[in-house]
Structure 1
Amino acid sequence: MTGRGLRAALAVAAAVLAAAGTAVPARADAPRDWEVSALRLPEAHRTAQGDGVLVAVLDTGVVARHPALGGRVTTGRDFIGGGARLGQSYWGEHGTAMASDVLKVAPKARILSVRVIWDDDDPARRRALKMKQDAQAEKAAHALANGIRYAVGKGAKVISMSLGTDEWAILSGYEEDTVAAVDYAVSKGVTILASSGNGGSTDPLEKDANNSVSYPAAYPGVIGVAALGPDGRRADFSQVHTYTTIAAPGVGIHSARNLGGYASVSGTSPACAIAAGVVALALSRNPKLTPGQIRGILTRTARHPAGGYNPFVGFGQVDAAAVVAAAGSPGKPAVRAVPYKGKKYFGDGPTDAPMTHPPIDTGYLAIGGGAGAVGLLFLLVAFLFLRRPKAPVPPPEGPPPPS
């Protein structure tokens, strides 16, 4: 296996660990569907419900026939492989839950399922961890990047990635092909969201308490989503990093199970899926919104923490009703290039206001110049003196040399 293949296989396995939001225990004080009122969904749904928006869920697969999904799922490519099949307990466990969370927020959106990671108990994940399948590791190395590009090609306007590499501190998870895929998607007008990670616990005995950087949330262009509890505060497992953009409900979320029924899920994974649903609401209100405008709306309308921003919850809890309202009149992007129309300067112009100085005292300038001239004269005299030819030295007196 190449060094890249090995590194990527580990990264994919790590992503699956981060994706397993069901591994985070749900709090007993989380009432069912508390996120509906927290997001102000009934008010948002009076204006938008996600009509006409395709949301790509890049995950472990989605069981499309689950009643919670209402026939709104299209099954796309499987880029990770590994041998699992629909109907097995380790196919679509995580992805089915995430798709249902998107549709809970945006019930008239459509889901494109793209399989790019393994569920936690998938034997393929364990094989990758042991590094015994070279070909599978090489395939896994490009699964996420290929999935992003595929989703863009299929017309997705939102990409939801409830996954990340934060669970292992032995690697960063940074992959150049995924960076390029993210840039490509954003350039095509696609908004990308990812979970901030579940390693934010301060308990030293917590196995996932590493709080390391999690990709893809940390890539430029990706909206990182932290998790909140019913009290509106950061969930204790939610990653703490400056790449977090916003926060969404992520504790005790009633979600679909791949084998039927429902389960309570906690993690930054459902928080990401819920935030992706809110973006779908905004786009159904205004399909012309750019990723930059959507980011601006999310951050501007969020319920800000003290100071306006912190690495715990980013710009704060997303407010679906406020997002939908703002989508109707988003304004122009806050950052844009403008021509420089100021004074002429050498180079590309100043980066700040030109600095001014008091006038030079010409008296001191004359004294300094005179002193410098005198000093140069003394140096010249010394140089000429040292260069004078020396007189010949007479031979010492003594007896004449022998004949």
Structure 2
Amino acid sequence: MAGHPALKGRVTTGPDFIGGGARPGMAYWGAHGTSMASDVLTVAPRARVLSVRVIYDHDDPARKAAKELKRDAQSRKAGKSVARGIRYAVDKGAKVISMSLGTDEWAIFSGYEKDTAAAVNYAIAKGVVLLASSGNGGSTDILDADANNAVSYPAAYPGVIGVAASGPDGGRAEFSQVHSYTAIAAPGVDIYSAQNTGGYRMVAGTSPACANAAGVVALMLSRNPALSPGQVRDILTRTATHPAGGWNVLVGYGQVNAAAAVVAAGAAGKSAVRVVPYKGEKYFGHGPADSPITHPPIDSGYLIIGGTGAGIGLLLLVGAFLLLRRPRARKT
């Protein structure tokens, strides 16, 4: 809800890429997005947020229909929503893309999607930093319906910064998914967030953790706009409050240290990663006309040796079979 006091004047509403019948003003329109946008702006008050609808809210009837895997036109449209949203945000000049969503949130697909992976690559190639929530299925309670600890995309895509939720003590929140794709953690328990119906509420999850971390990245880029996605990731992981051993699958490199990350961002130079021109021969092999299926002739000597060896092996096998079939002499 762009008119909420926490968002007013700082949020631009983009397209609805998922559809499904929900409209502005409905209770389940923008519930999740309103909270996440406010979390980003709490950390980075001068940021500007572009809100793009790419998932169903929890109470949206279309969410239940999608879980039933109805392969109709609407489901096919929904399946492209995240990829389209990423590309749209990049083309509109976004510098940070915060994805407080995961495989379970989409309610349509169970994992890796080529279109979304390509969109992620497109964003990174344009110098855009992407973050995603690691997932809320990490509970060990067998009665918890969400306790699946499945691999969650887009957090698991290469290049995306996976964000776990940390509790008040800085350790993993009990629901936060446990996987090697988690790079960092951020506060995700009892986060004071705006509601789409007005007012505020306390929320928990890796979603607000992702939004909080995205706010930190916005501050880093305000200090040093030239940072590359790789530099941002390096600074976040290097300056985080590390767990014992420096890293683990629970919180990655640990809880984000916003102050240290911003200071390090200001001290970072220009990214040293660049494309090195090839200065060798113009073509590899025999040039562009070389057939990809041609190969040197096989030496006939190798064929003779190989055939002889195979023949000897076959004879030995037959001989062993005959010996095994030979009847034993009876005792008198």
Question: Under a length normalisation based on structure 1, what TM-score does the superposition of the two structures give?
Answer: 0.66
Aligned counterpart in structure 2 of residue 235 of structure 1, from 158, 173, 183: 173
Q: How many residues align?
A: 279
Specify the SS of the correspondent of 2:103. coil
Specify the SS of the correspondent of 1:112. strand
Larger displacement relative to structure 2 (133-142 or 253-262): 133-142
Aligned counterpart in structure 2 of residue 196 of structure 1, from 109, 115, 134: 134
Match of 1:140 in 2: 78
1:108 and 2:43 correspond = no
Q: Is the 8 A contact 1:235 1:251 kept in 2?
A: yes
Distance of 1:287 and 1:170 partners within structure 2: 36
Distance of 1:143 and 1:260 partners within structure 2: 27
Specify the SS of the correspondent of 1:226. strand
Specify the SS of the correspondent of 1:147. helix
In structure 2, the CA distance between the partners of 1:211 and 1:94, relative to structure 1 (3 Å rule), is: same
Match of 2:149 in 1: 211
Q: Is the 8 A contact 1:169 1:212 kept in 2?
A: no
1:93 and 2:28 correspond = no
Alignment of 1:200-349 (within 5 A): 200-331=138-269, 333=271
Q: Is the 8 A contact 1:158 1:190 kept in 2?
A: yes
Give, as a single letter, the amino acid of the residue that structure 1 aligns with 2:53: R
Structure 1 residue 169: Cα displacement: 11
Give the greater-gyration-radius structure (CA). Answer: 1
In structure 2, the CA distance between the partners of 1:155 and 1:336, relative to structure 1 (3 Å rule), is: closer
Cα deviation, 1:332-360, whole Å, max 9, x if unaligned, reads 65877889xxxxxxxxxxxxxxxxxxxxx
In structure 2, the CA distance between the partners of 1:227 and 1:330, relative to structure 1 (3 Å rule), is: same
Distance of 1:274 and 1:165 partners within structure 2: 20
Distance of 2:161 and 2:125 partners within structure 1: 15
In structure 2, the CA distance between the partners of 1:76 and 1:247, relative to structure 1 (3 Å rule), is: same
Give, as a single letter, the amino acid of the residue that structure 2 aligns with 1:179: A
Higher RCO structure, 1 or 2 (CA under 8 Å, sep 6+): 1
Match of 1:396 in 2: none
Structure 1 residue 277: Cα displacement: 0.2
In structure 2, the CA distance between the partners of 1:170 and 1:144, relative to structure 1 (3 Å rule), is: closer
Distance of 1:117 and 1:171 partners within structure 2: 12
Structure 1 residue 172: Cα displacement: 3.7
Distance of 1:291 and 1:331 partners within structure 2: 13
Q: Is the 8 A contact 2:221 2:227 kept in 1?
A: yes
Match of 1:55 in 2: none
In structure 2, the CA distance between the partners of 1:134 and 1:169, relative to structure 1 (3 Å rule), is: closer
Q: What stretches of structure 2 of length at least 5 have no aligned partner?
A: 278-332
1:163 and 2:101 correspond = yes
Specify the SS of the correspondent of 1:227. strand
Structure 1 residue 173: Cα displacement: 1.4
Distance of 1:167 and 1:156 partners within structure 2: 23
Give, as a single letter, the amino acid of the residue that structure 1 aligns with 2:221: L
Distance of 1:89 and 1:272 partners within structure 2: 23
Distance of 1:216 and 1:234 partners within structure 2: 20
Specify the SS of the correspondent of 1:125. helix
Structure 1 residue 133: Cα displacement: 6.3
Distance of 1:268 and 1:102 partners within structure 2: 13
Question: Under a length normalisation based on structure 2, what TM-score does the superposition of the two structures give?
Answer: 0.80
Cα deviation, 1:250-290, whole Å, max 9, x if unaligned, reads 00000000000001000000000000000000000011111
In structure 2, the CA distance between the partners of 1:170 and 1:153, relative to structure 1 (3 Å rule), is: closer
1:154 and 2:104 correspond = no
Specify the SS of the correspondent of 2:12. strand
Distance of 1:135 and 1:118 partners within structure 2: 16
Distance of 1:308 and 1:327 partners within structure 2: 21
Distance of 2:65 and 2:111 partners within structure 1: 19
Structure 1 residue 208: Cα displacement: 0.8
Distance of 1:75 and 1:150 partners within structure 2: 12
Structure 1 residue 331: Cα displacement: 4.0
Structure 1 residue 77: Cα displacement: 0.9
Cα deviation, 1:346-401, whole Å, max 9, x if unaligned, reads xxxxxxxxxxxxxxxxxxxxxxxxxxxxxxxxxxxxxxxxxxxxxxxxxxxxxxxx
Specify the SS of the correspondent of 1:69. coil
Match of 2:22 in 1: 84
Q: Is the 8 A contact 1:166 1:211 kept in 2?
A: no
Match of 2:330 in 1: none
Match of 2:115 in 1: 177
For the aligned residue pairs, the C-alpha RMSD in angstroms reads 2.2
Specify the SS of the correspondent of 1:209. coil
